[in-house]
Amino acid sequence: MGRRARSHLAVRNVDDTLKRIVVIYRSLAGVWALVLMGVLVAGGHAGDRPVIYASAVLVVVWTLGTVWVSRQGDLLGRLWFVIADGIVILLLSAGGAIAGADDFFSGGYPSSWLFVVAFSASLRWTMTAAMVLLIEHAYLHVIMELGDARTAGTLQFVVLGLIIGWAFDSLRLHDRLRREAEQLLADERAANARYQDRADIARKLHDSVLQTLHVIRTQAEDPQQVRYAARIQERDLRRTIEELSSRQVNSFRAALMEVGADVEDLFPAVEINVLVRGDTEVDDAAADGLVVVREAMVNAAKHSGQDRIDVYGEVADEIVRTRVRDRGPGVDAATIERLLWGSERSMGNRLARVGGTASIVSDNGGTEVTVEVPAP
């Protein structure tokens, strides 16, 4: 009679709904039982009052206990609670018989056990619990000589058990079928996504690697052209690998490599070597930082007179930091001032609007531009 395994969020949701139904019915049945007991006391059952009072206390304690158990994970569906609940229900029914009053022991409180069983198990076990209630209450009706009609009325438990068990099982079945359909749809979407990813990779390989190999094969007599084609292919493959391996939707690492590739296309004689540590999303601040980095690359390619520019990117300590370094003759202080603050769209002014900074260090050994912006 163990409670069915439920690991999926949707299952927990439907069980939460059923649990609320159990608790609400148990609470309403408890209130009604107390009302009936109050009527009995007011009606003059003086000799039976100790039993009625004890039954009232048990109803209050057990109803509150049911509410508490319902908030403790899956305790409400445990076998031990179902058995204990049944024992309490049978004791209350016996208490009504001992008190000589059938009004509260044959009321709605006993049927609340059927809700607990239906929540914990299945229709078969709910019907079993209904038969236990039927047998006990029929026996009590006989010994209290309540008549054939009242005794036959205990069949209500079988009817209630059938309805409650079927309703709970149907709700769970409907939810399971819905989740299976959702899973099939999710699997199909995942398969389509994998197919699309493979198609994208195949297209990139066709448009880049195969074309590069064709250029190398047809222009093998021109070493410079072959070298340039190989360089283009190397950077494209690196960028593609970074895009595929990054957890970011809009990867800073891939974007920085893309900027380096664009500048390298403008200056084929200059090799832009990009090295990045860490990664993050490209937000507005990082996008402005990349614009400034691109400007620094272009300046270095134009004016350094070198055939190699090194770019170091780093995401650490909530800062996105990029350094662009060349090994040219350097620039003077006036040029540095102009690059940083010479116009509204200069490096420093552009970055100041997004909380970033730019600095330039230059000497005879080269120039290094450092761009920092806050990480997303």
Instruction: Say yes or no: 281 and 145 in one domain.
Output: no
Residues 161 and 15 grouped into a single domain: yes
Give the pLDDT score at 14: 86
78 and 31 fall within a common domain:
yes
* Residue of 375, 371, 374, 376 whose CA lies nearest to 290: 371
Would you state the pLDDT for residue 105? 62
Q: Are residues 61 and 143 in the same domain?
A: yes
Q: Do both 227 and 358 map to the same domain?
A: yes
Asked if residue 96 belongs to a domain, the reply is yes
Model confidence pLDDT, tens digit, residues 255-305: 898 898 888 888 888 888 888 898 899 999 999 999 999 999 999 999 888
200 domain residue, yes or no: no
Q: Look at residue 217 in the predicted model and tell me its pLDDT.
A: 64
Same domain, 135 and 271: no
What is the structure's pLDDT at 12? 55
Q: Are residues 99 and 23 in the same domain?
A: yes
Task: Tell me the C-alpha distance between 336 and 167, whole Å.
Answer: 78
For the chain, list the strands marked E by DSSP: 271-277, 308-316, 319-326, 357-363, 366-374
End residue of a domain, out of 163, 184, 205: 184
- Return the pLDDT at 374: 93
- Per the structure, how many domains does the chain have? 2
Other Cβ atoms less than 10 A from the Cβ of 106: the count is 24
Dihedral sign computed on CA atoms, order 61, 66, 71, 72: positive
Instruction: Judge residue 28's burial from the number of C-beta atoms within 10 Å of its C-beta, 0-12 exposed, 13-18 middle, 19 or more buried.
Output: middle
> Residues 244, 354: one domain?
yes
Query: Residue 273: which CATH number?
Result: 3.30.565.10
Instruction: Please give the pLDDT value at position 235.
Output: 67
Below-70 pLDDT ranges, the chain: 1-12, 44-47, 100-107, 144-153, 201-202, 204-217, 219-220, 224-226, 228-230, 232-235, 238-246
Share in percent of the chain as helix, strand, coil (round to 5): 70, 10, 20
| DSSP summary character for residue 247 | S
| Residue 105 is assigned to a structural domain of this protein | yes
Count of beta carbons in the 10 Å neighbourhood of residue 103? 15
Residue 177, domain extent: 9-184
Q: How far apart are CA 89 and CA 66, in angstroms?
A: 12
Q: Measured between alpha carbons, how far is 344 from 322 in angstroms, rounded to an integer?
A: 21
